[in-house]
A = this chain, B = another copy of it.
Amino acid sequence: MDKDEAYQRLESHGIRPSLQRVEIMRYLLSHRTHPTVEEVYEGLSGKIKTLSRTTVYNTLRMFYEKKAAQMITIDEHRVCYDGDIHPHVHFFCNCCGVVYDLMNKRAPSQKRTVTDGFLVEDSQLYYRGICPKCMEEIAKKKAKAN
């Protein structure tokens, strides 16, 4: 149960693997739902009785700064995180608030590059709109109305 993917991700990004950090990374890697701080906290507070929100905040932020996770600011209300560090497009449903991956879409690479004197450290491509589920819901409601 040691030396798993989570542990290795921390090591390879120069992050000391404390118990909390490993568990938070493990949560990120096993929940590909773009969790918020609150969700990670809720998900782990049963397993780590003393866990605090502050630690989750600090840890996720550090994962992002060390490029061990992606920070997603697609939802104006809350930041969420993604353990998948390959470039891919995120879709935010304006209706239900879920963040989806759009794997088929091409996204800019995450490599450090310099453009016009700007040092690019990371990039995010966001789409917003209505997800298939909500589209169906809306269609149902319309059908009922008639």
Contacts and interface: CB of A to CB of B under 8 A. Distances in A.
Interface of A: 71, 73-76, 79, 91, 94, 100, 102, 104-105, 108, 112, 115-132, 135
Contacts of A132: 116-118
A73 to B, nearest CB: 5
B122 A123 contact: no
Interface of chain A, helix or strand or loop or mixed? strand
Contact of A73 (B76, B112, B122): B76
B123 A135 contact: no
Tell me how many chains of this kind the complex includes: 2
A123 to B, nearest CB: 5
Contacts of A120: 91, 127-129
Given A76-B73, A76-B79, A79-B76, A119 B135 contact: yes
A135 B117 contact: yes
30 contacts: A73-B73, A73-B74, A73-B76, A73-B126, A76-B79, A100-B118, A102-B116, A102-B118, A104-B116, A108-B127, A112-B129, A116-B132, A117-B135, A118-B127, A118-B129, A118-B130, A118-B131, A119-B129, A119-B135, A120-B127, A120-B128, A121-B128, A121-B130, A122-B127, A122-B128, A122-B129, A123-B126, A124-B126, A124-B128, A125-B126
